[in-house]
Structure 1
Amino acid sequence: MSIHLPLVKLRWIALFIGLALLTVFVEMAVVRSAAFSQRAGQLAPGVIFDLIVGIPLLFYLFVVRRFGLSIRSLLFVLGGAMVVTMLILPRNQFHLIGLLRNGLLVVELTIAGYVLTQIRHILRHYRQLQAINPDFVINMQASLDTVLGRTALNRILVSELSVLRYSLFGWWAPVEKIEADSVFTTYRKSGQVALTVGIILVGLIETAGIHLLINRWNPTAAWIATLVGLYGLLFLVADLTASVKRPVLVRNDHVLLRFGLRGQVYISKEHIKRVDSIRDKPTPSPETMNGTLLSTPNVLLTLWNLTEARGPLGSQRSVRRIALFVDDKDEFIDKLTA
């Protein structure tokens, strides 16, 4: 399932969120009413039932069944419902709160055990794939999809893990290729390194200035803005590292186009209709993908048919034309047209 969900599925997610929020607001109104203060012993169990049973039930009906998710995903929603219930119930309901805390502890331990088990399976599958083809993004995505099932959440998780890996540890990792690959770099002559480093330095100064400015008004908002800004800069570092470690590869009868953490396309040579040398960005269109960042592409691939391309956060789209910058442009074109 791609992150570009059909409108019908988005409607079911929106319906669940709306009903869950409505349930929470209704129960908050009940707890704050005069009737609840007079008959808390009789009404509190009903509030607990509506939140702890009602919200997971809504999640099952509108999300689990519609998307084919595992029943185990209900554990996470149940844990969240318990936290909300503990926040809503008044403190004088000590015995009920105690039961909720014990129940929440059981749920947390169950979730922790499940997560640890799945992580072990994911890492084992990842190591098997890594021994064959060293590509972190592709192998991690395949491992999550195999162990947990194909979901949009997996793609988001892979995206976040990739940002952390390439920004913090990526410079020490080897180039992700196999011996038989023909490697084509995309960063040496494009100016991407210098421009990205410049933007990061300017961004650090601006982030510090914005923090000091907002801090006079609201310290919490200042830290939130700072964290958002730092995450954006961290993504730029990760994308630059990935551009170096994940070059474009030509292997036998296939081509793997990789654009940092911004996307990738795996296509067969026989699906390539034309390979042109260009000097400007192609005209934007839904079927055109521009794989460059802070530079101008110099190669344009035109395909016979639409093919699937991955974008940021694992998003997917169908493209017929792909623009990119390759350092050794002439050799790359010769490889694809030979």
Structure 2
Amino acid sequence: MNQPSTLKPNVLAFIIPLVLILSLVLLLNSGVFLANQKSLSTFITIDFIVTIPVIYFLLIRKRNISNLTVVPCLFLCILIASYTIPSVHQDALQIAKTWLIPLVELSVISLIILKVSKAVKIYKMTANEHSDFYDALVETCNSLFPKTVAKLVTNEIALIYYGFFNFKSIPLKPNEFSNYKGSGILSTLGAIIFVVAIEMVTVHMLVSKWSPTLAWILTILSIYSAFQLIGIIRSVPKRPIILANDHLHLRFGMLSETHILHEDIRSIELINSSDYNEQKGTKTLSLLGTLEQCNIKIQLKTPQQLHFIYGKPKTFKTLLLFVDDNQNFKSQLESYISN
């Protein structure tokens, strides 16, 4: 019921800066500016890079909008100013581009590192059966960025962290279960990285004969894809399945995860990989289909969602997954369900 009253101030926080930008653009195309270009250009530049971002900040500082959205607002103003202010009168704007933009970028990066470091310290001090580094990172980035941007930043930092920094093994608690030792899934993903590497070299050599620039773009994308796979592979042992008192937290590293309440589970049974089928409503935890050697099938009373680091959530009513100690996992889960 309160959504319209909240939405209106948030919309105004965007409309007012846009109206101010439009006013400056109209002024730049007016006869008044043409008669006083040199004197007005400096003041208009200040309005673009200082006045409008400050007004935008004052409008959003008490709203449920991240303060860091001031940064794209500033960049938008600089971009528009670059195309509307005559190039001969962009001295002040060039100074802003040279010094202000790098300073802002450095400040944002420093703030992110500071916030993430603080979140990691808090996580280490208060870690329990329901939290891990990725959860702490998600919470931190959600407090800094809009939802879509927060997800992208979270994933990029997590891929680097799991792929190249976190080498400490995590002992399993009684209510935690690994899902990679006997499935061979990590070896499969490792083989995919090897294939990507071979393909990268071959494609680079072929495309470079036609366009060296395109060849390097494709090579960089391939390297980035390989880094993503490395991060996902190394995150799997760090994020085991958790069997809590009232819910089941299933996750395949940072690639996918879902929370299922015990009361929503209809049945759980032991299976083998040949039981996999692609009928609607059936998903595998890693979304790798037949490549994932599943030994557990969970059927639900109501559809649930499986969330991934990229893309939209997948809806399922039957979930197939692999658990190393599947017998113990099934027994404990059935005990929770019966209680």
**TM-score, length basis structure 1:** 0.71
Find the residue that maps to 1:217 and give its secondary structure.
coil
Look up the match of 1:5.
none
Going from structure 1 to structure 2, the CA distance change for 1:298 and 1:113 (only over 3 Å counts) comes to closer
Residues 189-204 of structure 1 aligned to structure 2 (within 5 Å):
189-204=182-197
Report the Cα distance in structure 2 between the residues aligned to 1:115 and 1:162, rounded to whole angstroms.
13
Q: Is the 8 A contact 2:295 2:322 kept in 1?
A: yes
Match of 2:203 among 210, 213, 218: 210
Residues 272-287 of structure 1 aligned to structure 2 (within 5 Å):
272-278=265-271, 279-281=275-277, 283-285=279-281
Ranges in structure 2 where 5+ consecutive residues have no aligned partner: 1-6
Aligned: 1:81 with 2:73: no
Report the Cα distance in structure 1 between the residues aligned to 2:230 and 2:106, rounded to whole angstroms.
36
Going from structure 1 to structure 2, the CA distance change for 1:118 and 1:233 (only over 3 Å counts) comes to closer
Q: Deviations over 1:115-146 (max 9, x none)?
A: 5654454344333343675622122223434x
Report the Cα distance in structure 1 between the residues aligned to 2:254 and 2:48, rounded to whole angstroms.
40
Q: Deviations over 1:269-296 (max 9, x none)?
A: 33322113342135233xx442133224
Find the residue that maps to 2:298 and give its secondary structure.
strand
Give the CA deviation at 1:226.
1.1
Going from structure 1 to structure 2, the CA distance change for 1:282 and 1:298 (only over 3 Å counts) comes to farther
Going from structure 1 to structure 2, the CA distance change for 1:194 and 1:108 (only over 3 Å counts) comes to closer
Q: Deviations over 1:71-130 (max 9, x none)?
A: x22431244235525754565335333553565567557646755654454344333343
Give the CA deviation at 1:174.
1.6
Find the residue that maps to 2:88 and give its secondary structure.
coil
Report the Cα distance in structure 2 between the residues aligned to 1:193 and 1:224, rounded to whole angstroms.
28
Going from structure 1 to structure 2, the CA distance change for 1:47 and 1:211 (only over 3 Å counts) comes to farther
Report the Cα distance in structure 2 between the residues aligned to 1:190 and 1:311, rounded to whole angstroms.
20
Aligned: 1:161 with 2:186: no
Residues 26-37 of structure 1 aligned to structure 2 (within 5 Å):
none
Look up the match of 1:181.
175
Q: Which structure would you say has the larger RCO, counting Cα contacts within 8 Å and 6 or more residues apart?
A: 1
Give the CA deviation at 1:181.
2.5
Identity of paired residues, percent? Answer: 22
Alpha-carbon RMSD: 4.4
Letter of the structure 2 residue corresponding to residue 267 of structure 1: I
Give the CA deviation at 1:204.
0.1
Instruction: Count residues with an aligned counterpart.
Output: 311
Find the residue that maps to 2:236 and give its secondary structure.
helix
Report the Cα distance in structure 2 between the residues aligned to 1:263 and 1:99, rounded to whole angstroms.
45
**TM-score, length basis structure 2:** 0.70
Give the CA deviation at 1:300.
1.8
Report the Cα distance in structure 2 between the residues aligned to 1:109 and 1:312, rounded to whole angstroms.
26
Report the Cα distance in structure 2 between the residues aligned to 1:112 and 1:149, rounded to whole angstroms.
13
Going from structure 1 to structure 2, the CA distance change for 1:134 and 1:329 (only over 3 Å counts) comes to same
Q: Is the 8 A contact 2:189 2:229 kept in 1?
A: yes
Look up the match of 1:250.
243
Aligned: 1:332 with 2:332: no
Going from structure 1 to structure 2, the CA distance change for 1:142 and 1:208 (only over 3 Å counts) comes to same
Look up the match of 1:229.
222
Ranges in structure 1 where 5+ consecutive residues have no aligned partner: 1-8
